Structure 1
Amino acid sequence: MTTVETTPADGADPASIAYLPLLARLQGEFLAGIAEADLAAPVPACGRWKVRNLVEHLARIHHWAAAQARRTTETPLGRGPFDLETLYADCARELLETLTELGPHADASTLVGRGPASFWHRRQVHETLVHLHDLRAAAAGTPALGLADAEPQVWADGVDEIVTMFQPRQVRLGRMEPLRFPVLLLADDVPGARSWVLGFPEPDRAREVAPDVVVSGTSEALALVLWHRLTPEEAGLTVQGDRKDLAAALAERLTP
């Protein structure tokens, strides 16, 4: 076991991030990137995807999320072929207008049951942010830090989403087994050096855990490693403890 003094993070304060203006900016940057992209270029760290698959995926996710926020049945977009700039612009606009009109407190369908529409404010910011990284990684030919611009607190919020929502949901859905080795994540670029214990989403339980391995670095680096976009080495993370335990945790399907 590795001993580190830490205070695992409580959930992110929704008031600390203006999600919808940020979503609008990220969508605008993604749309601008489509016009400059080679649609046949491979997307690093995304299997067999080409840029055209990435663009269509994010457009469909925006369209689907808008329906989830409204608690209505999604209208099928069809199989295409599509003009990808138009498709993305239309779906991005639909999502942003839907979330704006509903407001944060509207009753919505979420990935964890019924909840406020604000769930989708956060979820779609992080969906768009990681795929903006993917789009720019495809243009650069390799993933790297700094491709998608967001404040450290935004990247830290993305880490929090994975630890507190996605990873436990993956366990509940039978997509992965509970983690055998607790992994302490330390974000050193936000006030108070936020921390989480992967595999223990509840802060009270996390405080009682002696982690097998401690991983520290920037919030962006942690988020992109958890999304399997970068390795810990590529992200410049510092690892204390058994790297095999970390590798075992990262080999799991932490996200959908």
Structure 2
Amino acid sequence: MTSALDHLSALAVEQEAFAALATTADADLPVPACAPWTVADLVRHLTGIHRWAAAAARLPPDAAIPDEDDDEAGPPDYAAAAADVRAALADAARPCPTLAGPGTAAWWARRQLHETFVHRLDLAAAVGVPLEADAAVAADCVAEVVDTMQPRQVRLGRMPAPAVGVRLTTPTATWVLGAAPVAEVAGPDLAVAQLLWRRTPLDDPRLTVTGDRAAAGGLLADRLTP
């Protein structure tokens, strides 16, 4: 995790950017990265995810997290849900259950940041505005896949434990995804984050691949994230 990053403050920035895009976009506009969703579907999804995370963060640490349910009845009130989840996560040290077992609200602040970050990029791409990202947020998005999301996918049986690994290198940091690396993928923090979330292909011109490209491609094509 990028320890210097204030996840809650960064979450507020990403939520504001997402809301600004959603307010001006046609509700029926397709969002290709989340096909077959439209802008309205994506807003409804993120509204529900914020409400779900806020509810989970308010539970005692040994409680079971309810099933994720982002199908909210009626028109979504994204601004209210965004404010509510930030309020629920204001005390970073508050014990609560997480998707990785008992933890604190800080875990959810990080998860909600990157959920919002990825979907803000999805929405920006759909409406045709340049994709921009704070390098620290993009780097922590990469780190979250490596240290939390991909191991969880293995734990849940959604992908096998990797037999090989890939070194991921950006101007900010270097990580190893999987086992002993047989290849390296280098590029901007944003491009590597998009790659891990299946928002850009391995042949993206911003990325450079060295070593066993086929093995790297096989690992990166697996279900690293939900």
Structure 1 length as normaliser, TM-score? 0.80
Q: Is 1:28 aligned to 2:8, yes or no? A: no
Q: Which residue, out of 70, 86, 91, partners 1:96?
A: 86
Structure 1 runs of 4+ aligned residues shifted over 6 Å read 72-78
**Distance 1:244-1:228 versus aligned 2 partners, 3 A rule:** same
The structure whose RCO (Cα within 8 Å, separation 6+) is larger is 1
Write the distance in 2 (CA, Å) between the matches of 1:235 and 1:123: 28
Q: 2:208 matched to which residue of 1?
A: 238
Q: Is 1:125 aligned to 2:109, yes or no? A: no
Gaps spanning 5+ residues in structure 1: where?
1-10, 201-208
Q: 1:212 matched to which residue of 2?
A: 182
Structure 2 length as normaliser, TM-score? 0.90
Of structures 1 and 2, the larger Rg is shown by 1
Q: 1:65 matched to which residue of 2?
A: 53
Gaps spanning 5+ residues in structure 2: where?
none
Q: For this pair of structures, how many residues does the alignment match? A: 221
Secondary structure class of the residue paired with 2:33: coil
Q: Alpha carbon RMSD of aligned pairs, Å?
A: 2.0
Write the distance in 2 (CA, Å) between the matches of 1:247 and 1:47: 23
- Quote how far apart the aligned CAs of 1:52 are: 1.3
Write the distance in 1 (CA, Å) between the matches of 2:163 and 2:70: 41
The share of aligned pairs that are identical, in percent, is 42
Secondary structure class of the residue paired with 1:212: strand
Write the distance in 1 (CA, Å) between the matches of 2:45 and 2:71: 13
**Distance 1:197-1:48 versus aligned 2 partners, 3 A rule:** same
Write the distance in 1 (CA, Å) between the matches of 2:182 and 2:9: 39
Q: Which residue, out of 118, 142, 145, partners 1:162?
A: 145
- Quote how far apart the aligned CAs of 1:78 are: 6.2
Q: 1:3 matched to which residue of 2?
A: none
